[in-house]
Copies of this chain bind each other. A is one copy, B any other.
Amino acid sequence: MSDSPSADSPITVHLAYLLAQANREINRQLETRLRVEGVPVEQWRILKVLADGNGRSMGDLAEAALLNHPTLTKTIDRMVADSLVYRISDPRDRRKVLIFCSDRGKALVRRLVPLALGQEAFIAENYGGKAMAQLKRLLETLIERSG
Enumerate chain A interface residues (CB-CB to B < 8 A): 1-7, 11, 13-27, 29-30, 41, 45, 48-49, 66, 113-114, 116-117, 119-121, 123-124, 126-127, 129-136, 138-143, 145-147
Contacts and interface: CB of A to CB of B under 8 A. Distances in A.
Contact of A138 (B120, B129, B134): B134
A124 B142 CA distance: 10
Given A2-B130, A4-B129, A6-B117, A15 B123 contact: yes
Contact of A141 (B5, B25, B127): B127
Contacts of A25: 142-143, 146-147
Q: Main SS of the interface on chain A? A: helix
B120 A5 contact: yes
Give the copy number.
2
A128 B116 CA distance: 32
A5 B133 CA distance: 11
Contact of A142 (B11, B49, B135, B142): B135
A117 B5 contact: yes
A15 B4 contact: no
A131 B137 CA distance: 10
Contact of A117 (B1, B7, B139): B7
A131 B136 contact: no
B139 A14 contact: no
A3 B120 CA distance: 11
Nearest to A6: B117
